[in-house]
Structure 1
Amino acid sequence: MRRALSITVLIAFTGIAGCTTYHPRPIAPAPLAQQFERRSLASEALHAYVARETGHDVTPWPPAVWSREMLTLAAFYYNPALDVVRAQWGTAKAGIDVASAIPNPVLQLPFQYNNPNPGPGARFTWGPSLDIPIETAHKRGYRVDQATHLSEAARLNIINAAWTVRAQVRAAMLAVYAADERITSLSARAEAERQIAVMSRHRLAVGQYSQPDVDAAVLADTQAQSDLAAARSAEQDARAQLAAAIGVPITALDGVTLDLAAFGTVPPAPPAANAQRAAIFHRADLLASLADYAAAESALQLEVAKQYPDIHLGPGYTYDTGTNKIGFGLAGITLPIFDQNQGGIKEAEAKRKEVAVRTGALQDRILGDLAHALARYQSSLEALQLSDAHLASARRQLDSQAAAFSSGNTDRLTFTQAKADYQTSETARLNAEVAVQEAAGALEDAMQQPLGHEAVNSTLSEETTR
């Protein structure tokens, strides 16, 4: 009896000794805010991350000019949205360990005092026994399959979130590009309108202009100055938008030169069949939905398997008033007489149907968005061609006025007005160009694949966390 008690105590303490201890990791708002304010594009940790993701060192660091690809990698490093989905993937992967765990045996220590004593020995009955569960019908395997599919869906959510971050960086850089180009164009127009207003006042003074003509010139000058101020404000807003997309304070972009040359090129529209194929096979959200459906399938298989009872072995030792007993029986078997887990099976079937419908609806929405994006991109390309033709015509008119001014056939006011009109045509052409780039971004988002030969190299694995 003492030997059995010693073995029981040893088993209990061995299990306790293998337990993991709790380590608190408190967080507070103030340190988090300080950590955010310290983020910088010159960080050596960011340098190491970019080198690892691109496969080569970037020298000098920080680069003199930041391209869209480099800023996208910086966003992959800093943007908190990716940290959230990476953490969710870690939780899902931990779920695989939970699902694959073998059920622990249960140690039972019954004790009974007998009075009167029925036997020759001590007047109590005592003895340790084990309840060892054995799962049947591949239940553990189905749980692991379900957890694995959920983990894959969480991993694909990282890619989906990364694409969203990439799109945010692209949109912000396009806004910076548009604001910078508008500032250049509107500066020239504002200067021309200012000169026109000055010359109009001079002509009014010598009786060559009426007051309404001067008022119109002053109004055009005021409007041009207002448009220029709005463009400068938009440039600041676009830089703040870019900093938010990257996940850094706006001061981190102070003195940073952006490479915006890519927005000056317009890739051709892909064939509709190729775009549709890309959307179906590259959209991470659709692939994640398919993984959710596979998890629902495994969940249904698990519920079906629960119709078959598990086995519980019950070996043990009992001291019974002087008699030593060793048992090898079954601790219990659940008999599926009344329900046979029909409720759980029906619920799992309904869940599988729900996920299937949601996946089909997502694919329909993707194909609809793609068709709309293709049509929008094609129409914006056509509008840009018309704008190019209009700008070329305005350029010829300006050149004609410049030649007439040089030869003395027209005055300075007329020539300056022609320059202001040309800047208006340039602004209209810029608006058409920005519309094309916005349509290109929408088409890339619909396919989750860049147009042309642009690519961003990032594995987005758990190693990308800091």
Structure 2
Amino acid sequence: MIFAARFAVATRAMIGVSLLLTGCAHYVAAPVRLESYPAALQTRRLDEKPNDAVWTGADLLAASLTRNAAVAEAAARCRTAVAAARATRVAPGMTLTLTAEYSRDPKPWLYGAGGDIPLDIGGRRGERLNAADLAAVQALHDYGEAVWAVRSALTRARADRVSADDELRLARRLEAVRQVRAERLDRRVAAGEDDRPAVLAARAELALAHRRVADAVARRAQADAALAQALGVPIEAVAGLRLAPPSSPSEGRDLTDARRTAALTRRDVLRAVVDYDLAESALKLEIARQYPEIHIGPGYSWDHGATKLPFNLGLVLPPADLNRAAIAQAEAKRLDAGRTLEAVQAAALGGVDQARAALSAARATEVLIRDRDLPIAQRLAAAMARSLAAGAADRVEDLGTQAALLDAELSLLDARRAAIIAGVDLEDALRTASDPAETLILQTAIRALGDGQ
């Protein structure tokens, strides 16, 4: 009879363990395949718009968010942090100890079971959950920074690409003019109509024109490479892409409020705030560890025919110094986090000031070339054309003034590109996009990831 009862208990225990194991998750292998990403990258194309369509900054940004590897990595880290925060809410597991003893008594067997249940309550649990939640918020800020970095890279690459195309057209015209001028001077020197130093100077100017064309071609290729990397596609996918020119920075903008807002709301600043909150939470946790950690241990034993229900209370005592050293370390770390926050804010403010100064200088240079140098070159070219038509000048002189005008136009193009890049740097320092469509895409992407968790 006793054997039958014990057999029934053992059977129920085995069934319970079987059911428990049935509900367990199982390992699924996911080996790394190094060749997968390069192969997949090579087949990607930008198919959101027709081949002859013009791509704006917002179009490029939307396309990059689904393909850029850095954005995907930041999103994965954010999801991992959220999963870790959820896992933290699961109470720690209890310890179960089974015992058995045999003696030569009439009832020889002793069976026992004891548990150890840590009480996950109070400050320890609260600060652990708080730290995990803060880590998830921090990961979301990191995702926002990654998205913004891609946006800045796209804007710079677009500015470089459009500028390189415009520069290449002007540089090839300049190269052709200087080529014809050098050839004419060669013929004049050969005929004894001019001195050799003149043709040497013309050849030197032609060499500079050749170099300018080569530099424009190289900048165009570099812009394509940067654009492809930011979009997460092969360089062949962007070679024929038509891009809308980036907007020039606005003049006379009051940045007082925007500068202050940047020091308060930039995501690197908010990340530093979370770092400080994490240090604060760690300090609270060390304070809580001054006090013993409580464990309870309910049990059961069948002691040679007598049923017993033992119970014990366990305390995990703090260190001998009552955790003072760990508390001091946590306080130092909190102070360090506070200084780091100030440094990040100082860098944000300094970045805005430097970008504003660079933009002002670039705009001043552009205005000077546009309002002074270019009109002078245009007047000289027009006057020389009139003189050539009247027979008072020759073709070589006319080609020289045409080349000077093209040089002035190229200088204006360089100044405009510098002003646009300075405007991009200012937007980067402020973490604000001038295009409302880009701002909406940025906000939607971050909100979607945050709400999806």
TM-score normalised according to structure 2 size: 0.90
Match of 1:107 in 2: 96
Match of 1:147 in 2: 132
Matched length: 442
- The partner residue of 2:30 within 12, 19, 25 is 25
- The partner residue of 1:41 within 28, 43, 46 is 46
Match of 1:375 in 2: 357
Aligned mates of 2:220, 2:342 — CA distance in 1: 41
Aligned mates of 2:406, 2:434 — CA distance in 1: 31
Match of 1:53 in 2: none
Decide whether the 8 Å contact of 2:381 with 2:405 is kept in 1: yes
Aligned mates of 1:12, 1:311 — CA distance in 2: 28
Specify the code of the residue in structure 2 equivalent to 1:385. Answer: V
After superposition, the CA RMSD in angstroms is 2.4
Aligned mates of 1:106, 1:381 — CA distance in 2: 71
Structure 1 pair 12/452, CA: closer, same or farther in 2 (3 Å)? closer
Percent same amino acid at aligned positions?
Answer: 29
Structure 2: tracts of 5 or more residues without a match: none
2:156 corresponds to 1:171:
yes
Aligned mates of 1:84, 1:224 — CA distance in 2: 44
Decide whether the 8 Å contact of 2:61 with 2:438 is kept in 1: no
- The partner residue of 1:76 within 65, 70, 74 is 65
- The partner residue of 2:327 within 345, 362, 367 is 345
Specify the code of the residue in structure 2 equivalent to 1:421. Answer: A
- The partner residue of 2:212 within 198, 217, 227 is 227
- The partner residue of 1:404 within 360, 380, 387 is 387
Structure 1 pair 232/334, CA: closer, same or farther in 2 (3 Å)? closer
Any idea what the Cα deviations from partners look like across 1:211-265, whole Å, max 9, x if unmatched?
A: 22223223322332232133223212221221122221111113322222x24x3
Aligned mates of 1:448, 1:225 — CA distance in 2: 39
- The partner residue of 1:185 within 159, 162, 170 is 170
Structure 1 pair 424/335, CA: closer, same or farther in 2 (3 Å)? closer
Aligned mates of 1:19, 1:299 — CA distance in 2: 33
Match of 1:460 in 2: 445
Any idea what the Cα deviations from partners look like across 1:50-88, whole Å, max 9, x if unmatched?
A: xxxxxxxxxx54661112221122222211111221121
Aligned mates of 1:362, 1:218 — CA distance in 2: 52
Match of 1:16 in 2: 21
2:433 corresponds to 1:447:
no
Aligned mates of 2:374, 2:96 — CA distance in 1: 87
Specify the code of the residue in structure 1 equivalent to 2:266. Answer: R
2:423 corresponds to 1:434:
no
Aligned mates of 1:110, 1:186 — CA distance in 2: 90
TM-score normalised according to structure 1 size: 0.88
**Greater Cα shift, 148-157 or 376-385:** 376-385
Give the Å deviation of 1:461: 4.5
Decide whether the 8 Å contact of 2:52 with 2:242 is kept in 1: no
- The partner residue of 2:264 within 265, 272, 281 is 281
Structure 1: tracts of 5 or more residues without a match: 48-59
Structure 1 pair 4/393, CA: closer, same or farther in 2 (3 Å)? same
Give the Å deviation of 1:386: 0.8
Structure 1 residue matching 2:445: 3-state secondary structure: coil
Aligned mates of 1:378, 1:443 — CA distance in 2: 11
Structure 1 pair 462/23, CA: closer, same or farther in 2 (3 Å)? farther
Aligned mates of 1:377, 1:241 — CA distance in 2: 23
Give the Å deviation of 1:12: 3.8
**Greater Cα shift, 360-369 or 123-132:** 123-132
